[in-house]
């Protein structure tokens, strides 16, 4: 193995040389997951892509339970991107149908787990029936406090930033704020969900090692963890490995560790 390969392995690999006791794990407040690999999961089993998407949707329920086990307060999942509209019409239709079915089918379980549901993305551009599902799921789960599941649907990080800039430009035009008053803090307040803390950890299964326009602003200082496991097979074992890796990270946010300061 070359020196470059060794460095890459040590940075991104899910493998560990020493296990960490659960009590010693550093638990992120906000975990984000790019649910990737449904199509490949189905192909390996000689099944239609729709079967992979269905298996992936079912696994979201498992993720919520596993995150609840560790006391994670916010879980954001990348369900449908602004770029996914370019997929075949039949596949897009399947994804939309699964979206509706998921919340009709699993809402009682989400209720039992105390999971509030919210959505992030360009929701107003979605078909009316999908918007109605979003509204129903959000309104019906407001009272739940154990965890917040945020579903990124018709989401694109760049579009979110552009729309925030448009809001601020309109406020300047209307004389509500001055151009020089625009700060990072004010900009962040104009994003889709300004009250939600930035993700501490972003996980991507499936072997891909990029964030694909997901939480571009919010994930600027997130820790990243990648796994070769395809999303429908991503379970408690992989989540625990990700949390073990996260526990070992030194989050400096551009500063120095305490040891280096001294």
Tokens standing for 191?
A: 């994003």
Rounded (10°) angle between helices 89-112 and 49-70: 30
- Our CA angle for 233, 63, 116, nearest 5°, is 155
Rounded (10°) angle between helices 128-140 and 89-112: 10
77-96 b/e with 16+ CB inside 10 Å = b? bbbbbbebeebeeeeeebbb
Q: Which residue has the tokens 């699993």?
A: 106
- Which stretches of the chain are DSSP H helices? 3-12, 38-44, 49-70, 89-112, 128-140, 157-173, 184-188, 236-248, 258-261
CB distance 225 to 152 below 8 Å? no
Query: Exposure of 134 by Cβ count < 10 A (0-12 exposed, 13-18 middle, 19+ buried)?
Result: buried
> Measuring CA to CA, which residue among 148, 113, 184 is closest to residue 32?
148
203-242 b/e with 16+ CB inside 10 Å = b? bbbbeeeebebbbebbbeebbbbbbebbbbbbeeebbbbb
Active site residues: 36, 84
> Measuring CA to CA, which residue among 80, 162, 90 is closest to residue 126?
80
């Amino acid at each position: 193995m070359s020196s470059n390969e060794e460095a890459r392995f040590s940075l991104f690999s899910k493998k560990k040389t020493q296990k960490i006791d659960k009590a010693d794990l550093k638990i992120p407040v906000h975990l984000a997951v790019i649910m990737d690999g449904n199509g490949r999961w189905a192909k390996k089993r000689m099944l239609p892509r729709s079967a992979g998407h269905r298996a992936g949707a079912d696994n979201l329920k498992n993720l919520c339970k596993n995150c609840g086990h560790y006391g994670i307060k916010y879980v954001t999942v990348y369900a449908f991107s602004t770029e996914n509209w370019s997929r075949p019409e039949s596949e897009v239709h399947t994804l939309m149908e699964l979206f509706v079915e998921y919340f009709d089918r699993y809402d009682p379980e989400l209720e039992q787990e105390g999971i509030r549901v919210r959505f992030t993305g360009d929701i107003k551009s979605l078909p009316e029936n999908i918007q109605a599902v979003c509204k129903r799921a959000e309104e019906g789960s407001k009272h739940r406090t154990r965890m917040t599941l945020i579903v990124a649907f018709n989401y694109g990080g760049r579009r979110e930033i552009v729309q925030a800039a448009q809001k601020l430009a309109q406020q300047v035009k209307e004389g509500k704020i001055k151009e020089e008053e625009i700060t990072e803090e004010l900009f962040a307040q104009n994003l889709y969900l300004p009250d939600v803390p930035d993700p501490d950890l972003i996980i991507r299964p499936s072997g891909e090692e990029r964030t694909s326009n997901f939480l571009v602003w919010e994930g600027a200082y997130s820790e990243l963890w990648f796994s070769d496991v395809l999303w429908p097979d991503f379970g408690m074992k992989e989540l625990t490995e990700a949390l073990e890796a996260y526990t070992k990270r030194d989050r400096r946010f551009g500063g120095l560790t305490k040891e280096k300061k001294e």
